[in-house]
Amino acid sequence: MVDFTKELKVSKILLKEDILRLRKYIENKYPHDTQQRRAQILANAIEGVVEKPKNLLPSK
């Protein structure tokens, strides 16, 4: 089995600046939604980015 841990350690997933940029975008796109709803949208966006690299790994 190939060890992908070294590659994953150096892979950029999200930086703090990326999250802040997403948050600002969501605030501008959904200004009338509640803070809770915007937080949910942000969490879903972050989850989508974090989960994406897992799909790129070979199975077994």
The domain limits of the chain are: 12-56
pTM for the structure as a whole: 0.68
Other C-beta atoms closer than 10 Å to the C-beta of 26 total 18
Q: Is the pLDDT of residue 55 over 80?
A: no
Looking at residue 8, its pLDDT comes to 62
Q: CA of 50: how far to CAs of 8, 17, 19, in Å?
A: 11, 15, 12
pLDDT tens for residues 9-43? 666 678 899 999 999 999 999 999 999 999 999 99
